[in-house]
Amino acid sequence: DTAKPSNFLRQIIERDLEQGNFAHRRWAGRPADAATHQAGEPDPARIRTRFPPEPNGYLHVGHAKSICLNFGLARDYGGVCHMRFDDTNPEKEEIEYVEGIKDAVRWLGFSWDAHGTSHLYHASDYFDFMYRAAEYLIEAGLAYVDEQSPEEMRANRGDFSRPGVDSPYRSRSIEENLKRFREMRDGKLADGAAVLRAKIDMASPNINMRDPALYRIKHAEHHNTGDKWCIYPMYTYAHPIEDALENITHSICTLEFEDQRPFYDWLMDRLREGGLINPPQPRQYEFARLNLTYVITSKRKLKQLVDEGHVSGWDDPRMPTIVGLRRRGYTPESLQLFSERIGVSKANGWIDFSILEAALRDDLDPKAARAMAVLDPVKLVIENWGDLMGGDDALDECSAPVHPHDESRGRRKFMFGRELWIERSDYEETPPKGFFRLFPGNKVRLKYGHVVECIGADKDASGNVVRVRAKLIPDTKSGTPGADAVKVKGNITWVGVADGLKAEVQLYDRLFSVPQPDTGEKDFLEELNPESLKVVTAYLEPSLGSAKGDEKFQFERHGYFVADRVEHGPVVGRSVFNRITGLKDSWTK
Ligand code: ATP
Ligand code: MG
Ligand code: MG
């Protein structure tokens, strides 16, 4: 059951701390590297984790899990988590993405300023070391330059049913390999003409051990190293080295990398034997990546949604990106809670979206101010109001607690009058069974206000209700003595016409209409939910007039809403709220 938290990583860390398994980690490589690569003194007996995104897009909810996990473990065990940009690919790194990633991590509540350093790590800073480590492997007879064509290489790698075939270049001399590798480095060979491969075992049952590529030729400019290099390390070669140079103790990654672990260890063992890294070496641990129902977590596909205009941007409130979730109204605390609840698992599975929504509700319920809002408004007219109150324009102040469990937060005030906005669905001419709200002859309480008895409704030519009519039952105002003498089964929310505020409310729903998008035959674009956004004009109680962008509320009966951090506010001159999620328990009749 992937929804159950598991502590296997914590158990490993606790065991390691107890046994002192990574105490006295110290740089033993070439001193020049130690100076440039290690920020500050090594920390004996302190765990080090890392979060290593590739800056090629905005982070999503899956990354949030990884961030909470890596930074959270470091925090909980007095360790350090490195913020590392994994930029070994010479693709154009976008500053926008780098900044977006930093913002997301900070917003989630984590910092990489632990223990007096606020150092950002970049994998590309280690290119010199990686290159020298590659020459070392060649010198030790553990790597060779292969000049087979990519097709030949693929064919000769074999598959699960048959062993691979040795490349004719596998038996080259060390001298020839070194010379050829330097020619690769010096730009003498074209892209794809050769690769440096580890010499391990072409018959290994683990295909990743069949002489994996370490370096490829790519005549491309790198944002950090410019045109210094035209060969770039492969991720599987680079990553363990990055971990080792940063004294990472627990290198936590997703399950896809499980089959890479033997190579990770092979490389670390060989470099340790060669004196390039010191024991104890970093260890890789895998956990199941987050798959969330109704959500896609592939940066490439999320980018496609943005580029093709299926959403308004990376921060569209329907996007599972951290900026999207934030704009939707999710809080850092809710995402941390979610990450804790789903725990870490060794088995891939799907986490139900409702677990994320429940975490949001559990976070907001004790915090969010309450308010009344009418999302599908129709007018209710109290016909005897003027007679009872001494004039049609008379108003009667009502109030409700800002938070039902915290009196100290005070009360919100709003005006009851002759005309009120109510939900269209609260009136039925012919009530279905079990309907206790407004229908001719029935009495209901207008929450925090008075009891009214429905008289009927006026309709337009096409039969739509344009106005519901009622009469007030005297001496029933909430909070006054004897108010409960008249028993009613229905209790409905409302907003006064006199002091109600008009606002735009964006009713968001799931971006995809199928629980496991992008897993079947269909193109994922065909699985988009056409009703993922409905914008309505609503009326809100006056207390919401001072709502600031990003402020969250519980709209009674409707769920949790946030003032849109981009579109709402006096500067833009608009009042825009987003539905984050509905209430757990649907409105009881
Ligand atoms: P994508 O496939 O969306 O591009 P990625 O894994 O290539 O994701 P990276 O930038 O390399 O993206 O990810 C940084 C870290 O976040 C990695 O350590 C990776 O394991 C982790 N991560 C990415 N996606 C998920 C996920 N769905 N669940 C948990 N961790 C994830
Ligand atoms: Mg990646
Ligand atoms: Mg990727």
CB 52 less than 6 A from any atom of ligand 1: yes
From the CB of 258, is ligand 1 less than 6 Å away? no
Task: Give percent of the chain above pLDDT 90.
Answer: 83
315-362 pLDDT tens trace:
999 999 999 999 999 999 999 999 999 989 888 899 999 999 999 999
Location of each CATH 3.90.800.10 domain in the chain: 129-233
Atom from ligand 1 closest to the CA of residue 66:
30
* Ligand 1 and 69: CB distance under 6 A: no
Burial 448-457 (b: 16+ CB within 10 A, else e): bbbbbbbbbb
- Which amino acid residue places its CA nearest to atom 22 of ligand 1? 63
Model confidence pLDDT, tens digit, residues 550-585: 999 999 999 999 999 999 987 777 899 999 999 974
Tell me the per-residue pLDDT of 578-588, one tens digit each, with 9 for 90 and over: 999 999 744 33
Instruction: Give the whole-angstrom CA distance, residue 584 versus residue 139.
Output: 64
CATH level 3 topology of 129-233: Glutamyl-tRNA Synthetase; domain 3 (3.90.800)
Report which protein residue has its CA nearest ligand 1's atom 18. 253
Range(s) for CATH 3.40.50.620 in the chain? 8-123+235-290
Provide CATH 2.40.240.10 ranges for the chain: 370-500
Rounded percentage of the chain residues whose pLDDT exceeds 70: 93
Exposure string for 57-67, b = 16+ CB within 10 A, e = fewer: bbbbbbbbbbb
Q: Is the CB of 351 under 6 A from ligand 1?
A: no
Annotated binding site: 54-56, 86, 235, 254, 289-290
Ligand 2 centroid to 300 CA: how many Å? Answer: 11
* Ligand with an atom nearest the CA of residue 297: 1
> Is 299 a known active-site residue?
yes
pLDDT of 503-551, one tens digit each? 999 999 999 999 999 998 999 999 999 999 999 999 999 999 999 999 9
Q: What CATH number matches the domain at 370-500, 2.40.240.10, 3.40.1010.10, 1.10.10.10, 3.40.50.10440? A: 2.40.240.10
Residue nearest to ligand 1 atom 10, measured at CA = 53
CB of residue 496 inside a 6 A radius of ligand 1: no
- What is the number of the ligand 1 atom nearest to the C-alpha of 289? 28
pLDDT of residue 151: 95
* 299 CA to centre of ligand 3 in angstroms: 6
Does ligand 1 come within 6 angstroms of the Cβ of 298? yes
Question: Tell me, what's the pLDDT at 3?
Answer: 37
Sign of the CA dihedral with 165 first, then 217, 131, and 90 last: negative
Residues constituting the chain: 589
Nearest ligand atom owner, CA of 51: 1
- Is position 443 annotated as part of the catalytic site? no
Task: Write the class of the CATH domain 291-364+501-540+547-589.
Answer: mainly alpha
Q: Which ligand is nearest to the CA of 298?
A: 1
Q: How far is CA 181 from CA 150, 187, 202, in A?
A: 17, 10, 21
Selecting among 182, 289, 301, 303, the annotated active-site residue is 289
pLDDT of residue 33: 41
User: And the tokens for 286?
Assistant: 């895998």
Chain centroid to CA 378: 38
pLDDT digits (tens, 9 = 90+) for 135-160: 999 999 999 999 999 999 999 999 99
CATH architecture, domain defined by 8-123+235-290: 3-Layer(aba) Sandwich (3.40)
Of all protein residues, whose CA lies closest to atom 26 belonging to ligand 1? 62
Compute the distance from residue 196 Cα to the ligand 1 centre, in Å.
27
The confidence band for 29, taking pLDDT boundaries of 50, 70 and 90, is very low
Structural tokens at position 539:
């009326």
pLDDT, residue 254, reads: 95
Q: Give yes or no for residue 54 CB within 6 A of ligand 1.
A: yes
Mean of pLDDT over the chain: 91
Q: What is the pLDDT of residue 117?
A: 57
Q: Are 69 and 63 in contact (CB under 8 A)?
A: no
Q: Ligand 2: distance of its center to the CA of 54 in Å?
A: 6
Confidence at residue 39, expressed as pLDDT on a 0 to 100 scale = 41
Nearest to 581 by CA among 506, 496, 473, 504: 506
Q: Is the CB of 84 under 6 A from ligand 1?
A: no
pLDDT 10s digits, 203-262:
999 999 999 999 999 999 998 899 999 999 999 999 999 999 988 999 999 999 999 999
Q: For residue 53, how far is its CA from the centre of ligand 2 (angstroms)?
A: 7
What's residue 573's pLDDT?
A: 79
pLDDT in tens, 432-458: 999 999 999 999 999 999 999 999 999
Separation in Å, CA 532 to CA 61, 310, 317, 352, 579: 18, 11, 10, 18, 11
SS3 label, residue 473: coil
Write out the H or E segment, with its range, that includes residue 153: helix 150-157
Please list, in sequence order, all residues whose beta carbon lies within 8 angstroms of the beta carbon of residue 496, skipping any fewer than 6 positions away.
Answer: 395, 414, 415, 416, 417, 419, 420, 421, 541
Q: Is 327 a catalytic residue?
A: no
Predicted TM-score (pTM) of this structure: 0.91
Q: Which of 465, 459, 505, 491 is nearest to 556 (CA)?
A: 491
Tokens matching residue 509: 């729903």
Instruction: Considering the candidates 185, 197, 283, 299, report the single residue annotated as catalytic.
Output: 299
Nearest CA among 422, 420, 402 for reference residue 410: 402
Distance 475 CA to ligand 1 centre (A): 62
**pLDDT recorded at residue 93:** 67
pLDDT band at residue 45 under the 50/70/90 scheme:
low
Atom of ligand 1 nearest to the CA of 67: 16
For residue 586, the CA-to-ligand 1 centroid distance in Å is 35
SS3 call for 452: strand
- Nearest atom in ligand 1 to the alpha carbon of residue 297 is 3
